[in-house]
Amino acid sequence: MSLRLLAPNGYGRARIFVRTPRHLEDLLAEELRAFGAGKVQIRPGGAQLEADLELAYRICYRSRLASRVLWPLAAFPAADADALHAGVAALPWHELLSPGATFAVGFDGSSRSLRHTGFSRQRVKDAVVDVLRENWGVRADVDTVHPDMRLQAVLHRDRVTLYLDLAGDALHRRGWRVDGGEAPLKENLAAGLLLRAGWRAGSSGWLVDPLCGSGTLLIEGALIAADIPPGALRNRFGFEAWSGHDPERFAAIVAEPAALPTTLVQLFGRDQDPEQIERTRTHLQNAGGGDRFPLELDLAVGRLEDLDGLPDPIGLVVGNPPYGQRLERQGSLSALGQALRRHAGGAEVALLVAAPADTSDVEAHADVLLRELDLPRLDRHACNNGPLKAWMLTGTIEAGTATAAGELPVDALEQAGMFANRVRKNSQRLGRFAKRADTDAYRLYDRDLPEYALVVDRYGDSLCVQEMAPPATIDPVLAERRREAALTLLAEAAGVAADAVHFKTRRRQSPETQYSRQQPGSAASRRVIVREGAARFAVNLSDYLDTGLYLDSRGVRRRIAEHFKQQPGGRFLNLFAYTCTATVQAAMAGATASVSIDLSRTYLDWAGDNFSRNGIDDQAHRRVRSDVLEWLNGPGRDETPFDVILLDPPTFSNSARTPSDLDVQRDHPRLLEAALALLAPGGQLLFLNHARRFRLTWEPPEGATMTDITRSTLDEDCGRGRPAHRCWLVGKPA
């Protein structure tokens, strides 16, 4: 047994660990340095530092952010349960614990032999009890709720460090709370929000909470402003049952004078629940409001809609907006944002918002919350509210834009004027191009201005608008306003009716939803027929993510058609055929036979409508529902060689109908090899790719040629900026 006693008594120094809620570690480190700590090392969930007993006492008594203060007692190897028991039993517990005191044990970590924390915790407890029984002659009592001493064991790489929890009960339990009501906020998390917003000892002005609940934020804000140590309200600490406790040294910490003169604390709170208002009053009394610190209080029942007559000056607006059923009772986040802009414009704000437990994409949900609040330019800080992913939002409430719900700020509309002007210019220039190209389907706007990351496609007299995901550095509220302002001005700028603008949001699709309707049975469904040369195509602007016609591929379709016009009578193979628009152009230009392969029944049925509309013979031009790789390595081997092949794979696909997924970066070599095997001598294989980070790794076999023809396949409307696709021409010698 290699037992190392880390702090033989309370008068030495120890390497302690101070726990705090996740993502508050930086604030904790700042606080510890203010207490006189030297080097502080931030760790997940806390900070580690060298401390003597005086500093440890000060942290327990004065820290607003700490949850627990762990003083190390010993460290020893624990390869299995017996070694764990022996290591704990080697400590003189009868000397560390005061006679008659109760204790509890916590255990973190696991190993191959110690896999269950509950079992490991029991072995630690048994070892302590065995030592105390042997020395005291009676069995020690275990109290898991309010023990006199709390022990914490941490297992890491078959080695256990055993700590004494100097706090006892968690330090967020200040002593002023009686009943938090529904979903109370932990006090140290509330303090973290206030400190994150710059609220410090001596802060002045009214602390305003329009959804105050049981008053956690107001009371913690009052204690901070008045410089009242949170430990001053507690009845006891865990170290008081420790034999190494030095009462005189702790008394000196308690007697330390406040750093600042007494500050008048001004609190304004509203909640629509009268019971919560009464809880807040009780909690304020318990915290010493009016006795420990001078207090001016404006506390009443009220709704967000009635949030007027705020006091002046406002020091900080705080809030923990509810969610779920509580949100429905209190009012929406949009109502909160609107009320703050109207009544507290220009004031500093700190809000804690959380994602429901069943949220799959919490980062996307954060953007949704910010857009609903409609408060721009707030800094977002990740945190955890119990088991929930949450964010602290801090900054200044936007002033001068107190609009009604659904209305856009005037400045957003004014800024969108440059977007509207660009659309007007593009309409004139690209309208002339469309006439030359003999089409009424073209790209009108493609992220021309960095502030407006939209793609606007014109289909006849209708527009389809897609928003590209903005980078994480862009404020989601400002992005939302820019988008809405742009959509407001778009119809007039493009010369179409307002109800002819259809907006879509691009998002990652699952196999179950990739080909399904976005809004089944929607009354707003819009289907139009557009022309491309002699061909007519059905385009759906509302029901599906894709419209059924890739505008950037127009040049590829034209090249295919030109081949069959010059050499009529050939065969065409369309791999990943989508709605078969390329097949239609090939057939109308002179291809006498074709095979179009796609796995989606929706797309192939859509293709059938395009065939019928353009008089394409379904017998000579076959549509086959199949996985492309399976077809190429199976039935495709028996096909007569094709004169032109179009290979246009998706970037990624993982359909439930196939045994494996498709990744174009990984799989393009075998796709090209298999497709080239079906190309007739003298034929052309067009490889089209839309993946942004694609890197070509396939090399053509001897005798074959490969040429990048991307620029020649992008027309004027789709050739701006970064190419919408890349295209290679693979030739097979005659």
Is residue 251 domain-resident? no
Is residue 177 domain-resident? no
**In this structure, is the dihedral angle defined by the CA atoms of residues 209, 210, 212 and 215, taken in order, positive or negative?**
positive
Q: What is the CATH number of the domain that holds 663?
A: 3.40.50.150
Is residue 175 domain-resident? no
Rounded distance, CA 9 to CA 217, Å?
A: 39
Rounded distance, CA 41 to CA 75, Å?
A: 20
The reply to whether 486 and 367 lie within a common domain is: no
The reply to whether 419 and 380 lie within a common domain is: no
The pLDDT assigned to 178 comes to: 82
Cα radius of gyration rounded to whole Å, the chain: 35
Point out which residues pair with 653 in neighbouring strands: 662
Helix (H, G, I), strand (E, B) or coil at 492: helix
Is residue 712 domain-resident? yes
Rounded distance, CA 35 to CA 25, Å?
A: 15
**Tokens standing for 250?**
């702790």
The reply to whether 655 and 678 lie within a common domain is: yes
Which range of residues forms the domain containing residue 541? 408-548
What is the residue whose two structure tokens read 């297992």?
Answer: 155
Rounded distance, CA 515 to CA 522, Å?
A: 16
Whole-angstrom distance between the N-terminal and C-terminal Cα of the chain?
82
Cβ neighbours of 202 (radius 10 Å): 15
To the nearest 10°, report the CA torsion of 715, 721, 727, 729: 70
* φ and ψ at residue 650, rounded to 5 degrees: -70, 165
Model confidence, pTM: 0.78
The reply to whether 674 and 570 lie within a common domain is: yes
Q: Is 52 exposed, middle or buried (0-12, 13-18, 19+ CB in 10 A)?
A: middle
Q: What is the CATH number of the domain that holds 161?
A: 3.30.2130.30
The reply to whether 591 and 726 lie within a common domain is: yes
- Comparing CA positions, the residue from 248, 243, 247 lying closest to residue 8 is 243
Report residue 518's pLDDT band, with 50, 70 and 90 as the boundaries.
very low
Half-sphere exposure in the Cβ direction for 519 (13 Å, CA): 13
Of 396, 429, 453, which closes a domain? 396
The reply to whether 296 and 380 lie within a common domain is: yes
Of 501, 518, 548, which closes a domain? 548
The pLDDT assigned to 542 comes to: 81
Length of the chain: 734
Is residue 179 domain-resident? no
Report residue 733's pLDDT band, with 50, 70 and 90 as the boundaries.
confident
Report residue 507's pLDDT band, with 50, 70 and 90 as the boundaries.
very low
The reply to whether 425 and 516 lie within a common domain is: yes
pLDDT one-digit tens code per residue, 26-78: 999 999 999 999 999 999 999 999 999 999 999 999 999 999 999 999 999 99
The reply to whether 504 and 641 lie within a common domain is: no
Cβ neighbours of 112 (radius 10 Å): 8
The reply to whether 214 and 281 lie within a common domain is: yes
Report residue 657's pLDDT band, with 50, 70 and 90 as the boundaries.
low
Q: What is the CATH number of the domain that holds 502?
A: 3.30.750.80
The pLDDT assigned to 473 comes to: 74
b/e map of 583-614 (b: 16 or more CB within 10 Å)? bbbbbbbbbebbbbbbbbeebbebbeebbeeb
* φ and ψ at residue 667, rounded to 5 degrees: -100, -5
* φ and ψ at residue 645, rounded to 5 degrees: -125, 130
The reply to whether 434 and 497 lie within a common domain is: yes
The reply to whether 335 and 208 lie within a common domain is: yes
The reply to whether 24 and 35 lie within a common domain is: yes
Rounded distance, CA 193 to CA 634, Å?
A: 62
Plot region of 539 (φ>0 → left; ψ -120 to 50 → alpha; else → beta): beta
Is residue 245 domain-resident? no
Of 396, 422, 453, which closes a domain? 396
Helical ranges in 360-403 per DSSP H: 362-373
Amino acid at 137: G
pLDDT one-digit tens code per residue, 307-359: 888 999 999 999 998 764 444 444 578 888 888 988 999 999 999 998 877 77
621 in Cβ contact with 662 (< 8 Å)? no
Rounded distance, CA 16 to CA 438, Å?
A: 77
- The 8-class DSSP code of residue 241 comes to G
For the cut 70, the answer to whether the pLDDT of residue 573 exceeds it is yes
Which run of H or E residues covers position 270?
strand 265-271
To the nearest 10°, report the CA torsion of 304, 308, 314, 318: 0
The pLDDT assigned to 401 comes to: 54
**Tokens standing for 553?**
């591929």
453 in Cβ contact with 468 (< 8 Å)? yes
Is residue 11 domain-resident? yes
The pLDDT assigned to 360 comes to: 67
The pLDDT assigned to 290 comes to: 84
Rounded distance, CA 538 to CA 529, Å?
A: 5
**Tokens standing for 25?**
């570690």
Is residue 243 domain-resident? no
Plot region of 241 (φ>0 → left; ψ -120 to 50 → alpha; else → beta): alpha
Cis peptide bond prior to 322, omega within 30° of 0 = no
What is the residue whose two structure tokens read 């309409």?
Answer: 427
Which run of H or E residues covers position 133?
helix 117-136
Rounded to 5°, angle at Cα 221 from 402 and 166: 145
How many structural domains compose the chain?
Answer: 4
Cβ neighbours of 99 (radius 10 Å): 12
